[in-house]
């Protein structure tokens, strides 16, 4: 895979998975966990959590893509 395409795919997947992580984190009831769930610190925590989770998910899928491409070349 060309590096330009891989870089573009990395950016797109990261943004998509960060957005999906943010959406999924909205279902967690932070009012039972945090002192002030509507405060700025709570929102910043949600942003950081969504970035970390989304980044790790995108890394997993990009690694999986790389592994599958190497695996395909194994039998040729």
Banded model confidence at residue 34, pLDDT cuts 50, 70, 90: confident
Whole-prediction pTM:
0.82
Residues 17, 58: contact at Cβ < 8 Å? Answer: yes
pLDDT for residue 71 is more than 90: no
**Residue owning tokens 């695996």:** 71
pLDDT for residue 1 is more than 80: no
Segment 48-58 mean pLDDT: 96
Dihedral over Cα of 57, 60, 63, 67: its sign? negative
């Amino acid at each position: 895979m060309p590096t330009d395409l891989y870089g573009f795919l990395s950016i797109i997947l990261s943004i998509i998975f960060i957005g999906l992580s943010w959406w999924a984190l909205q279902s967690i009831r932070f009012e039972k966990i945090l002192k002030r769930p509507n405060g700025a610190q709570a929102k910043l925590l949600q942003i950081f959590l969504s970035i970390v989770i989304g980044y790790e998910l995108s890394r997993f899928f990009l690694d999986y893509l790389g592994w599958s491409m190497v695996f395909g070349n194994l039998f040729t």
